[in-house]
Structure 1
Amino acid sequence: MFSRIVSMKIREGSRADFLDAISRSATSSLRDEPGCLRFDVCADRVDPHRFFLYQLYVDDEAAEAHRFTEHFLAMRAAADKFVEPGTQIQYCTDVLFAN
């Protein structure tokens, strides 16, 4: 299994629009991508503009295929409006154990 963890900070005043866009992407990922096992959207408890995404895929190929879906491309376009430039960081990991 493969996971992707994304950390990002969004622009002030864009929280509601960001949550709408990312929830559509997360829902579509789980519903439409057989290789996507999990797509969590987490909010920082201290900074209301900091978010973390946790995505779990069956393998690298499924994670790569995600990047070419319609919902991912729509979210990327939305991210250009909401995400603070230079704050999006991705961590890619091999999952050794998952429940």
Structure 2
Amino acid sequence: MFSRIVSMKIRPGSRAEFLAAVRRSATASVRDEPGCLWFDVCADRVDPHRFFLYQVYVDDEAAEAHRFTEHFITWRSAADRYVEPGTQVHYSTDILVNAN
């Protein structure tokens, strides 16, 4: 099991549209992908244009499969419109302790 954390900055004036698009993708990921256990969308408390996606997958194969789903492909198109180019940073971390 591992997490993927994505940091991104959105374009000014696109917050509502961004949140609607990312909400659809996050909801579909957990609902439709057996390998996606968790998907949170988090907002920075200081910068209203900075967001973090926190995803938990059962394994690398599940995370790779995520990239080929219809909702991810739709999300990528939306991200091209709302996310500042060059600001998406991906981190993958092994989960060592899960207290849930």
Query: What is the TM-score with the length of structure 2 in the denominator?
Result: 0.97
Say whether residues 1:82 and 2:72 are aligned partners. Answer: no
Shift, 1:93, TM fit: 1.1
Alpha-carbon deviations, 1:34-90, whole Å to 9, x = none? 010000000000111000000000111001100000000000000000000110000
What RMSD in Å do the two structures reach over aligned CA positions?
0.5
Paired letter, 2:73: L
User: Structure 1: where are the runs of 5+ without partners?
Assistant: none
**Contact preservation (8 Å) 1:6, 1:52:** yes
Partners of 1:91 and 1:20 in 2: CA distance? 23
- Aligned residues between the structures: 99
The answer for the alignment partner of 1:92 in structure 2 is: 92
User: Which runs of 5 or more residues in structure 2 are unaligned?
Assistant: none
Runs of 4+ aligned residues of structure 1 deviating over 6 Å after TM superposition are none
Q: Give aligned-pair identity as a percent.
A: 79
Equivalent AA in structure 2 for residue 40 of structure 1: D
